[in-house]
Amino acid sequence: MLLIVFAAIIAVRALLRVGADTADEFDEIAREEAAASGVSLWRGWAMFITLVTYVAALDFAEVPFVAATTLMLVVNGFVLSAFSVRSIVTFGAVGIILSLSLSFVFFNFLHVDLG
């Protein structure tokens, strides 16, 4: 369901860009959107490194699922938002709730122990 929502958002944004007459105008629109949203290259790389570290921690270091998932979401929260105590608390709470929920579903319904 979530994938369908994201696909719809992408489709609507693409349709709004159809009005751009030339590739230069399209590139200018993309640059303006990137500048307005504060997108920077380091965030993409930081998210990638976080994901690789998360998978390595689960697979090679055998870190417990709940701890690794919570920590990954807190770090991703730092990358995506401002560095503040509020973001630590918010993403930490979301991380704990999400990781415990996923662990419950995997263990009780799919019979897979994530550790």
Condensed to tens digits (0 to 9), the pLDDT of residues 61-86 reads 889 999 999 999 998 888 888 777 88
Range of the domain at 22: 2-37
- Write down the pLDDT at residue 69: 92
Residue 115: inside a domain, yes or no? no
CB 33 within 8 A of CB 20: no
Q: How many domains does the chain have?
A: 2
- Write down the pLDDT at residue 67: 92
- The pLDDT tens digits for 2-11 are 667 666 777 7
Together in a domain, 48 and 104: yes
pTM: 0.62
- Write down the pLDDT at residue 53: 92
- Write down the pLDDT at residue 46: 83
